[in-house]
Structure 1
């Protein structure tokens, strides 16, 4: 007899074999959905002991309908689709999976940086069109002795800095929640927000989406950046005010942007961002490798296993159950 129910609100994986292999031996049975609304989340999860969610809106109204839930696990790092305070009011820990794709995102960040700075897509397009130039798309800057500024200094930012330093870049960083000692340990100078913007030749965004960080890259921020600087974002699309970025690129306020995340996804086919040589857009795929995909599903299920086996949860984000 099944002792517990785990509700999976939505998922983009081929199957749930890994989760079932971990949780079914503990007596879990699975109910799954493709929830697009909070009402659908509430209906699917009302009798669940545990909830796994990827993109579905796990709102306060939905959480209020949960009768038995003891844990909510977000497939991924960001938790902006889950109302953390509503879960806290019901004493439900919300857990994320921050460590499944650190290297993949860092690799993708450097790939975007190199692509936009070296103008790789434009050059490839010209070669395919029959144009062969040994100094194309001028000007192209060298990376040595340039400054990369990281906005946020979590695990991915640290991995990005390590890679960037191998290219000869000097690193500075902004994160009010990280000490100077931690920055220094990684060879990074801690700076304030305005200094990050004004000194960086490349700004790499590694921020969660919160009230404080939404649209932190706005008209004022772009005006503070160098006209020769580049913006790379592999964190959360909402940290950038899209129309302000478009204006900054069109007016030459910054030299370029490379984005894996956008405020609205998928990107509209007629978005000006897709029409400009100064912008590269990829499809929120920085996290992806086959290995990372497997880790994401495994690590999410293991958090549920920990709770129901009396072990300590590793990645609580709303403070419930932390000692």
Structure 2
């Protein structure tokens, strides 16, 4: 979607509020405090603010109440413009660049994007579990270790993979389906098992590399298969975890945009990548393969407004504010 088309769709705050109301209240307008459907719009100047009154708890609210857009100081059109640059790009965009293009301070843009990434963590709380064939893998996120030398002047060899100091991310990816990616403190069985059982259907077929932890966890599911990467066995008779590896490459591309992501905010950035992966649609295209034109099913980005509708549909309950002590953000219950 072009920026000019986006600006025509959301020329003012009224258009933005109308879009949010159609998205958040898809099943009818309700009070975010008590969930009552018996609500009425207020008149006068309150109508300009799109304010409503609940006849049950007698509280006033708008569609942004109880969400990360509540008590905003910038026009709603600025929020939508910032989200356009971030969501419409392939792997996100740095807050410094968006700040230059929108005229909003970098700190404000960063806070807005962090709140939006926090909202996208709804994937990890969905009751719908991954089914059919599900691939397990662990991604270690971080840059190359600094070159170090010991007391004798010899170069220190840093560990790679399991045992590294990089941040670990547990990835469960359904083939031709969605993915769940969770930042974990370690790769122990006691840490991974609760996540796997909460996110994957017990009747699923688990596939992974030769990791012993995944082999133990997979025994709780209907079927399990492994391919040993150590023995250069990456795919055999349909057994592989290349889907999870593909998602891991998307996480790695994230670092090409943001360069450095701290462990404290890692889950929020992973949420963003997870949303980009899950909100794709299968499209049949004609492509050139080995010199011949063939039709092939490709995964392409869902239209921008449709993606925003899915994400904003889970906005209620994610009230994010700036932490005045640390300067970061926190979720307000």
TM-score when scaled to structure 1? 0.33
TM-score when scaled to structure 2? 0.33
Q: Which has the higher strand share?
A: 2
